[in-house]
């Protein structure tokens, strides 16, 4: 599903962010991406959805080399990925409902289908009763769940979560992790970046640990 072949990334004028990364994530697999702040977790995530370009190596998603895609092909790549951001990336001048509906509006789905899918998605994250609210009226955890609902509304095959539990307390973090495990059980490939080792300690999923841009595979 996701395949990195000796990928390196250097930011302009800086030290290498990622060095010689090689790993494969099979379809339906769930894995954690760990490491200290600045270890390159976000960079790795951004490489998968084409927000950054690798300087060397190949990033394959469903067998397609992401770094070779043209600018106009990028939107179609991103539609197959559900991406969750640490800073949510929500629209504060739109309601929760509109925020979640956005990926479907972009696809030009009919109104009744949008309504059905958005409701299902919000139901899934437990925010169905707050769909008329604006993001500013929600707590941090709820905003994060809006982001998750938006990521899953188009039924992606890959779910990428960059520090989804970054600002949340333990109870909420566990809830969100449980949610991801549920998605994983339905066949979605999940890659979740986190620095919260306590949260994933007892989980049996693979852990990809980044240390100063290099990969150390555990389990």
Partner 1 sequence: MIKAKFKPSKQKKHKSHSFLGRWQRQIGYAWHNVFNYFYQNIFASLLTIFVIAISITLPTIGYILLKNANQAAEQWYPTPNLTVYIDKTLSEEQSKDLIDKFKAISEVENVIYLSRNETREEFRAWSGFDDALDLLTENPLPAVAIIFPIETAKQTNKLHALQAQLQKIVGVDDVHLDDSWFTRLMALTNMVKSIVWTISIFMVIAVSLVIGNSIRLNIVARRQTIIVMQLIGATEGFILRPFLYNGIFTGLISAIFALILSKVFILQIDSTMLQVSNVFGKIVSINGLSWDESLLIILFSIIIGWLSAFIATKKYLNEMVIVS
Binding-site ranges for partner 1 (CB under 8 A): 50-53, 71-72, 74-79, 83, 85, 89-93, 102-103, 105-111, 113, 120, 123-126, 128, 150, 152, 155-157, 175, 178-179, 182-183, 186-188
Q: 8 or 212, CB closer to partner 1?
A: 8
Q: Please say whether the beta carbons of 96 and 132 come within 8 A.
A: yes
Measured in whole angstroms, the distance separating CA 69 from the mean position of its chain's CA atoms is 20
Q: 121 or 194, CB closer to partner 1?
A: 121
Q: Residue 8 CB, nearest distance to partner 1 (Å)?
A: 17
Q: Residue 52 CB, nearest distance to partner 1 (Å)?
A: 7
Q: Residue 186 CB, nearest distance to partner 1 (Å)?
A: 5
Q: 38 or 126, CB closer to partner 1?
A: 126
> Going along 66-211, which residue ranges are E strands?
81-84, 158-162, 189-193, 206-211
Q: Residue 214 CB, nearest distance to partner 1 (Å)?
A: 25
Residue 217's CB: how many other CB atoms inside 10 A? 11
Q: 188 or 215, CB closer to partner 1?
A: 188
Q: Please say whether the beta carbons of 200 and 194 come within 8 A.
A: yes
Q: 25 or 125, CB closer to partner 1?
A: 125
Q: Distance between CA atoms of 40 and 22, rounded to whole angstroms?
A: 14
Task: Find all residues with CB under 8 Å of 79, minimum gap 6, and list them.
Answer: 103, 106, 107, 154, 156
Q: Residue 5 CB, nearest distance to partner 1 (Å)?
A: 21
Q: Please say whether the beta carbons of 217 and 46 come within 8 A.
A: no
């Amino acid at each position: 599903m996701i395949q990195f072949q000796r990928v390196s990334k250097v930011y302009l004028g800086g030290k290498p962010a990622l060095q010689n990364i090689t790993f494969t994530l099979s379809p339906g697999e769930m894995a954690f991406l760990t490491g200290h702040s600045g270890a390159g977790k976000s960079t790795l995530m951004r490489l998968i959805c084409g927000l950054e370009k690798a300087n060397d190596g190949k990033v394959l998603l469903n067998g397609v080399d992401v770094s070779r895609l043209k600018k106009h092909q990028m939107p179609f790549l991103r539609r197959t990925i559900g991406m969750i951001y640490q800073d949510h990336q929500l629209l504060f001048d739109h309601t929760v409902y509109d925020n979640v509906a956005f990926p479907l509006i972009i696809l030009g789905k009919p109104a009744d289908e949008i309504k059905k899918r958005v409701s299902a998605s919000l139901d899934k994250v437990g925010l169905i009763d707050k769909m008329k609210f604006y993001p500013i009226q929600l707590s941090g955890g709820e905003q994060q769940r809006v982001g998750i609902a938006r990521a899953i509304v188009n039924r992606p095959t890959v779910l990428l979560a960059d520090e989804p539990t970054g600002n949340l307390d333990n109870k909420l973090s566990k809830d969100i992790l449980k949610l991801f495990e549920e998605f994983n059980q339905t066949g979605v490939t999940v890659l979740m970046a986190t620095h919260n080792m306590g949260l994933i300690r007892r989980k049996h999923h693979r852990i990809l640990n980044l240390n100063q841009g290099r990969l150390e595979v555990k389990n």
